[in-house]
Chains A and B, each alone.
Chain A
Amino acid sequence: MSTPAFPRPLPRVEGDAAPFWKAVAAHRIELPRCTACGTLIFYPRTFCTRCHSREVRWEEISGAGRVYTFSVVHRATHPWFMDKTPYVYAIVELEAGVRLPTMLVGCATEDVSVGMPVEPVFERASDDVVLLHFRPRSA
């Protein structure tokens, strides 16, 4: 088996974020919510970033969302992405309220628009890591 020349940049499944990536690997989106003030916290931390309470509880949230903004990247310099252009780097706003960075897949770059409804795509990136991509939501 050959080693790829440039490894894909992947998150470390560790610390505060480990439950998030483990859930994504099981095709679910889970985030911590503060039990004191109700704030949903993205990216995950083990304390509330609004009221500083340590009481947070992980809960599953819906993957339904809309494109908040995006950019079609025609020139990348991270080596792994160089032969992936053009690709769509985007921020998706989930119905639960958080806005998360992602890659938009499954549609022509010229068809992407702000406000477009999207749904998750669970993209296996390595033995350990599944990434959370999005694609246009089927009606």
Chain B
Amino acid sequence: MSGSGGIAGIAVAGVYEHPRRSAPDKTAYQIAAESARGALEDAGLRLSDVDGYATSGVGPIGVLSMCHHLNLRPDWIDSTAIGGSSFVAQVLNAAAAIRAGLCTTVLVTYGSTAASDRFAVGTGGGSAGDPPDSFDVPYGPTIVGAYGMVAQRHMHEYGTTSAQLAEVAVTMRRHAGLNPDAKYREPITADDVLASRVISSPLHLLDCCVISDGGGALVITAEERARDLAKPVVRVLGGGMAVRHPGIGVRDITDIAARQSGKKAFERSGVRHEDVDLCMIYDSFTITVVETLENLGFCELGEGGPFVQGGRIGLGGALPVNLDGGGLSSNHPGMRGIFLVIEATRQLRGECGARQVENAEIALCHGTGGFLGIRHSGATLLLGRA
């Protein structure tokens, strides 16, 4: 598989995940800068090699401040802001930009001190100012509440149970136990999840991602160039991005953006579902994983509950998901998309030690941004070992 015409020949050449989960002594800019250095070192490149730059989560023109902070004067910049999926989308944007000749080497960075700032990643509301929000915010939405509504409807339509959702959290925690950097590593049981307090029904505390500090960085360049660099080449095989919202007011909250972006990613890459060795799925909440697997086409709509049971999504199972422990147990500084690409790349290089998926050749990353159930983005990326 070589990827589709538009983005063929592009590689992830360097990755770095900041090891800290609590960094009260650092700023978000510092975490991003340390991550930039880590990813460039990983690739065997220098800051002066970078001529394209992408970041997100830094405010409307924060990308300029980040360029200033890193002393970058790139020929191409991207500050796509579609929530936690932004960095997955930016890999696609970077691939297209490199193919178009706009730049050769793109650095993508992320840094956040969400936990130290006591930023309410999951329970924040919004402002009632924008037109769609003015019909929502007066009624008390929260992020957990929006995902809770999705879970409630999923349970109603398909008979999905809290115990099935809990299986996702239990699996992520098991993987986190194999990741020395993960925030929570002690094993949990489905009963622990069900006994944890309800944050917004039917979602319990342990159905929700953690809030951490953290950050990471990626280096994207032409595959031809990546061959001469430090690490095994990981190719961008294809991808897609999409948005879902209620449109004219008839929202179907079981139809999510992954349906559209995933379809494009599979079509553009020529990859088949059975070729995928592992998935990195944005696990803001347990229900997010269930609905994403369904909408990506790994199972039928409504089959996600049974699908995640029986060890299928665990290391050693048929479709291992989130080997790093995910947002549910490893880290979630607000926008997790970049970590999906980092772990997938490391898995395809075979660098993951105890949590390594044996002989991993193809990985799927899917980021979700915004509020599932209100409006959200999805970005899918298929990566392959060269």
B-binding residues in A (CB < 8 A): 8-12, 15-17, 39-43, 45, 49-50, 68-78, 81, 84, 87, 89-91, 97-103, 109, 114-115, 125, 131, 133
Residues on B with C-beta less than 8 A from A50 are 248
Q: Are B251 and A103 in contact (CB under 8 A)?
A: no
The smallest C-beta distance from B195 to any residue of chain A, in angstroms, reads: 15
B101 interface residue, CB < 8 Å from A?
no
Q: Which residues of A contact B59 (CB under 8 A)?
A: none
Interface stretch, picked from B79-87, B122-130, B293-301, B356-364, is B122-130
Among A40, A89, A101, A109, the most chain B Cβ lie within 10 Å of the Cβ of: A101
Min CB–CB distance A36 → chain B (angstroms)? 14
Select one of A12, A41, A49, A72 contacting B134, CB under 8 A.
Answer: A12
Interface status of B310 (Cβ within 8 A of chain A) = no
Q: Is the CB of A16 within 8 A of B124?
A: no
Residues of A within 8 A of B248 (CB): 39-42, 49-50, 98
Known: A43-B131, A84-B140. 15 other contacts (CB 8 A): A9-B125, A10-B128, A42-B248, A43-B132, A43-B249, A69-B156, A69-B373, A71-B144, A73-B142, A75-B123, A75-B200, A76-B123, A77-B125, A90-B149, A91-B253
Is B311 in contact with chain A by the CB < 8 A criterion? Answer: no
Across the interface, do B156 and A114 meet the contact criterion of CB distance under 8 Å? yes
CA A94 to CA B102, docked complex, whole Å = 50
Max chain B C-beta neighbours (<10 A), residue from A45, A71, A97: A71
Residue B73 is within 8 A (CB to CB) of chain A in the complex: no
Choose from B137, B156, B198, B374 the contact partner of A72 (Cβ within 8 Å).
Answer: B198
> B249 contacts which chain A residues (CB < 8 A)?
40-43, 98-100
Contact status B251-A99, CB under 8 Å: yes
Q: Which residues of A contact B138 (CB under 8 A)?
A: 8-11, 125, 131
With CB as the reference atom, state the residue of chain A lying closest to B249.
A42
Is the CB of B99 closer than 8 A to any CB of chain A?
no
What separation, in Å, do the CA atoms of A16 and B153 have in the docked complex?
30
Whether B199 and A75, one on each chain, are in contact in the complex, defined by CB atoms closer than 8 angstroms, is yes
Q: Is the CB of B153 within 8 A of A114?
A: yes
Instruction: Tell me if A72 and B246 are in contact (CB < 8 A).
Output: no
**Nearest B residue (CB) for A101:** B136
B156, A71: Cβ atoms under 8 Å? Answer: no
Summarize B's interface: helix, strand, loop or mixed: loop
Question: Do residues B123 and A77 form an inter-chain contact, with CB atoms below 8 A?
Answer: yes
From B142, B151, B247, B374, give the contact of A77 (CB < 8 A): B142
Q: How far is the CA of A42 from the CA of B136 in the complex (A)?
A: 12
Contact B141 A12, beta carbon cutoff 8 Å: no
B136/A73 in contact, CB under 8 A: no
Is the CB–CB distance between A70 and B124 below 8 Å? no
Contact call A131/B135, Cβ cutoff below 8 A? no
> Which of B200, B246, B253 has a CB less than 8 Å from the CB of A74?
B200
Q: Say if the beta carbon of B61 comes within 8 Å of chain A.
A: no
- Cross-interface CB contact of A91 among B149, B151, B197, cutoff 8 Å: B149
A81 and B140 contact, CB distance less than 8 A: yes
Measured between beta carbons, the chain B residues less than 8 angstroms from A39 are 248
B47 lies within 8 A of chain A by Cβ: no
| Residue from B120, B127, B145 in contact with A9 in the complex, judged by beta carbons closer than 8 Å | B127
Q: How far is the CA of A8 from the CA of B146 in the complex (A)?
A: 20
Q: Which of A12, A40, A71 contacts B148 (CB 8 A)?
A: A71
Q: Which B residues are CB-close (under 8 A) to A131?
A: 138-139
Q: Which of B129, B136, B138 has the most CB of A within 10 A?
A: B138
A53-B153 Cα distance, complex, nearest whole Å: 33
Q: Given A9-B138, A73-B140: A17 and B250 within 8 A (CB)? A: no
B202 surroundings in chain A (CB, below 8 A): 71
B65 interfacial by beta-carbon distance below 8 Å: no
Q: Tell me the bound Cα distance from A125 to B134 in angstroms.
A: 14
Q: Which of B124, B137, B145 is within 8 Å of A71, CB to CB?
A: B145
Closest to A69 in B: B153
Closest to A125 in B: B138
Give CA–CA (A43, B132) in the complex, Å: 7
- Inter-subunit contact B198/A12 (CB<8 Å): no
Contact residues in A for B197 (Cβ distance below 8 Å)? 74
Taking CB atoms, residues of chain B closer than 8 Å to A84 are 140
Q: Is the CB of A71 within 8 A of B250?
A: no
